A and B are shown apart, each in its own frame.
Chain A
Amino acid sequence: MSDVNRPTLGPLMSLVCFHSLRQGAEDNAGRALVVAAGRRRGQELVDALSLRGFSQDPEAIRQKLDAALGVDGTRLCLVQSVEAKADGSYEIHITEGACCAGVSSDEPYCAFTLGAFIGAMSAITDRRMLGHESVCSAMGATECVYQIAPLD
């Protein structure tokens, strides 16, 4: 994807199209499809950045992911913090996530973005990870918080 062959429009597109794609996929095939796509993106990102086994330092991970996904990257979201916990899990805080932009929901709404962080953290740590969203800006919060934990 490094050569997007869009000399006028460049590599970015509107959230309107992103949301249409996500909602259409989810309406017809369920959330797993979107999460899986996010996981793949996260894993590919880690590979592209040569981050497999890169570091267990949460701030170093945050900086790398924010550079790739934030305002100077693909603009999926701003990575505000990555916190490592004693049990091997990670708590990740993001703002301005693409999944939730302009969305109001009664339940956590991130799917692609959550998947991207599950995939990225799995690849960085080389551990199989599960994830869920404990706080979501689509529900009125100021940020989205992902809990990503290794399987047992």
Chain B
Amino acid sequence: MAMSRQDQIAAVLDRLASSAGNDVSGVAAVSMDGIVLVSKMSAEVNSDRVGAVAATMMGVTRRVVGELKIGATEETIIKADNGLFMVLPAGDQSLLAVNLRQGANLGLVRIEARDAAKAIGLVL
């Protein structure tokens, strides 16, 4: 039986979480309108709220990028003193949100996240 799109996306998110090891504490695929497609966030995180915020972050980022005329948006990252939050476009229809632990290897996770975002974009 063919995997559903949700299952395919879930598999991509699982691969990302696995390959990033302890650096990633949660991942979610989100529609451009902020609706969570698949969430692998921890139980204490309100994934619906995070989805809406992630899509809004992307919206703000795209406007900044547009106003400054600095090309196409590749990612947006928030750094706090106990972790990071990254959002990337995943095709035209969705986003990938990644929650990283403090001290995460950002370079490695960015590479893995871009691959995952590309894979999600192909599913949708």
**A36-B6 CB under 8 A given contacts A115-B33, A151-B37:** no
Interface size (B, Cβ < 8 Å)? Answer: 19
Partner of A36, one of B7, B34, B63: B34
Residue-by-residue, is B35-47 near A (CB-CB < 8 Å gives 1, otherwise 0)?
1110000000000
CA distance A33 to B63 in the complex (A): 13
In the complex, whether B32 has a CB less than 8 A from a CB of chain A is yes
In the complex, whether A3 has a CB less than 8 A from a CB of chain B is no
**A32-B33 CB under 8 A given contacts A151-B6, A152-B5:** yes
A141 to chain B, nearest CB (A): 21
Interface size (A, Cβ < 8 Å)? Answer: 18
CA distance A27 to B6 in the complex (A): 31
Partner of B63, one of A29, A129, A152: A29
Is B60's CB under 8 angstroms from A30's CB? yes
Is A32's CB under 8 angstroms from B6's CB? no
CA distance A10 to B114 in the complex (A): 51
In the complex, whether B97 has a CB less than 8 A from a CB of chain A is no
Residues of A within 8 A of B84 (CB): none
Is A128's CB under 8 angstroms from B56's CB? no
In the complex, whether B52 has a CB less than 8 A from a CB of chain A is yes
Is B56's CB under 8 angstroms from A30's CB? yes
CA distance A78 to B27 in the complex (A): 39
Instruction: Give the contacts of A51-106 with B (CB-CB under 8 A).
Output: none
Residues of B within 8 A of A129 (CB): 35
**A30-B36 CB under 8 A given contacts A36-B55, A36-B56, A152-B6:** no
**A29-B31 CB under 8 A given contacts A128-B36, A151-B6, A151-B37:** no
Is B33's CB under 8 angstroms from A35's CB? yes
Is A39's CB under 8 angstroms from B35's CB? yes
In the complex, whether B118 has a CB less than 8 A from a CB of chain A is no
Partner of B35, one of A27, A29, A30, A118: A118
Partner of A32, one of B4, B32, B37: B32
In the complex, whether A139 has a CB less than 8 A from a CB of chain B is no
Instruction: Give the contacts of B25-73 with A (CB-CB under 8 A).
Output: 31-37, 52, 55-56, 58-60, 62-63
Instruction: Give the contacts of A4-33 with B (CB-CB under 8 A).
Output: 27-33
- Closest residue of chain B to A30 (Cβ to Cβ) is B59
A124 to chain B, nearest CB (A): 16
Q: What is the interface of chain A, defined by CB distance below 8 A to chain B?
A: 27-33, 35-36, 39, 115, 118, 128-131, 151-152
Q: Which 7 A-B pairs have the closest CB atoms?
A: A30-B59, A32-B55, A36-B52, A152-B4, A32-B34, A35-B33, A152-B6
